[in-house]
Amino acid sequence: MAPVTTVGEEMHALVERLYPLCRSITGDGVRATLEIVGEYLPLRVHEVPTGTQVLDWTVPQEWNIRDAYIADATGRRVVDFAASSLHVVGYSVPVAATVPLAELRRHLHTLPDHPSWVPYRTSYYTADWGFCLAQDTLDALPDGDYEVRIDSTLADGHLTYAEHVVPGQVADEVIVSCHVCHPSLANDNLAGIAVATFLARELAQRTPYHTYRFLFAPGTIGAITWLARNAERVERVKHGLVLACAGDRGQLTYKQSRRGDAEIDRVLRHVLAASGRPHRITEFTPYGYDERQFCSPGFDLGVGSLSRTPYAGYPEYHTSADNPDFVRPEAMADTLAVCREAFSLLDRNRSYLNLSPYGEPQLGRRGLYDSLGGRSDAKEAQMAMLWVLSLSDGRHSLLDVAERSGLPFDTVAVAADALRGAGLIKA
C-alpha cells in the first residue's frame, strides 16, 4: 500500500513544481504558473493590456525571457539563467555584448555576507539590465572580456492575473490574495500560492456563508489593477487576508488591517490566542504586501496579512536559499489549518436577537437542558446558552460572547444553534 500523502506534502509538491518557472509582474511565467494552479482549481484568467490606466498607475510593458548568460573566453557559461531564474535581474532589457570584467561588475549583484547565495533583484520600471550571482562565483572570475547575452523582450502585451470564486450563501465577499510575480523563491511566495490553492479546494467542498474570492496576481500592480477594475464590487468585500511567506519554520505572524479593529483582525487574534500556538500580532504599516493596497484610505477594506516569518525577517528572504528545502510541509499545513479555523469562525460569527428578552426563558421545558445530559462539558454548554441569551441584543456577535464569557467560540456557536432551533433567538 502506498503511503498516505498529507496535505502538507501535497502543497510542498506544488511548490516544487512551480519553483523552476521564471515569474515576473507580467509574462509567460505568470501564465505558466496559473496554468498549473488551474489544474487544482477552475480559474478565470484576465489579460489587461499594456497602457491601461489603473488608479494612479499604468499597466507596464510585458517582459519575457528565453535565455541569458555570462560566458568566459572559452565559451563556458559562468552565470547561466538556465540554472536559476534568479540569475537575471527581472525586467532586464536585451543585451548582446562583449565587455571587460571591470565594466561588467557595474551590472552584477551579489551578497557578500552570504557568499554562496544568489540575490533576487528587479528593475521593473527602469530600462536597465543585470545579473545576480554568488559572491564566490564573482571572486573566482579572472580579469578579461566576457560575452554577455540576455535574450529578452520588453514590448506591449498584457498583465495577467486570475480569480477563483467559491460561492457562498450571501454575496458579501472575503478576499484571499497571494502574489504570483516572484521567480524561484519558495517561501515568498510559492508557499502562499499553495496554501491559497488548497484552502480554496477545501472551501469548495462545502457551501460557506460568505463568498470567497481568491486572487492570484502580481504584487502591487496586480492588486491595484484588480481594485481599479472592480470598483463596483469593492463594497461587497467585507473581509480579506493576504497570504505570504507561509511555509518557513517561524511562528505565525498576523499583521492587522489599517483599521486595527476590523472583524478579520479580531478573528485572527482570537483564533491564534485560543489555539495556543506561538504567534505574533503586529500593527499595520504601509509597507509589505498587497494589504497596503486594499487598506489604502480610499478603499479602507478590512484586510490583514498572515505569514510565518514576515518579509525581510529571515536571512534567506529574496535569495536562492529560499528554495523548496527551506519550506516545510508541516509549516504550510499549520498555516492552512489557521486559515481554516479563522474562516470557519468568520462564517459562523453572527449577531442574534433574543426573542424572549424579558427575564430568563425556561430552557428546561424546551428540552435544552436535557440535550446536555451526560456531556462532560454540560456546565460550560449551559453557561454558553445563558451568555448567548444575555448578549443577543442585535449589537453583539458570537465572537463578542466568546470573548466576554471566556468560553470557546465553538461552544458558544453550538449553544446559539440550539437556541435558534428552539425558537429563542434569530439572526
Annotated binding residue 182:
yes
Helix (H) or strand (E) holding 281: strand 279-282
DSSP single-letter state for residue 188: I
Taking alpha carbons only, the member of 226, 220, 291, 210 closest to residue 256 is 291
Closest among 178, 124, 164 to 289, alpha carbons compared: 178
CA distances to 11, 109, 111, 299, 418 from 220, in Å:
25, 24, 26, 15, 45
Cis, peptide link before residue 354, omega less than 30° from 0:
no
Per the CB < 8 A criterion, the answer to whether 109 and 132 are in contact is: yes
Instruction: Look at the alpha carbons of 84, 178, 332, 122 in this order and tell me if their dihedral is positive or negative.
Output: positive
Measured N-to-C along each axis, helices 329-348 and 409-421 cross at an angle, to the nearest 10 degrees, of 30
Beta strands, E only, 50-172: 53-54, 57-58, 62-71, 77-80, 95-100, 108-109, 131-132, 145-155, 158-166
Q: Are 61 and 97 in contact (CB under 8 A)?
A: no
Question: Is 318 labeled as ligand-binding?
Answer: yes
Length of the chain measured in residues: 427
Grid cell locating 395: 449589537
Give CA–CA dist 292/240, Å, rounded: 12
- Structure-block grid coordinates of residue 317: 528572504
52, with CB counted inside 10 A (0-12, 13-18, 19+), is middle
Distance CA 369, CA 381 (A): 9
270 in a labelled binding site: no
Annotated binding residues, written as ranges, equal 182, 188, 318
Annotated binding residues for Zn(2+), written as ranges, equal 182, 188, 318
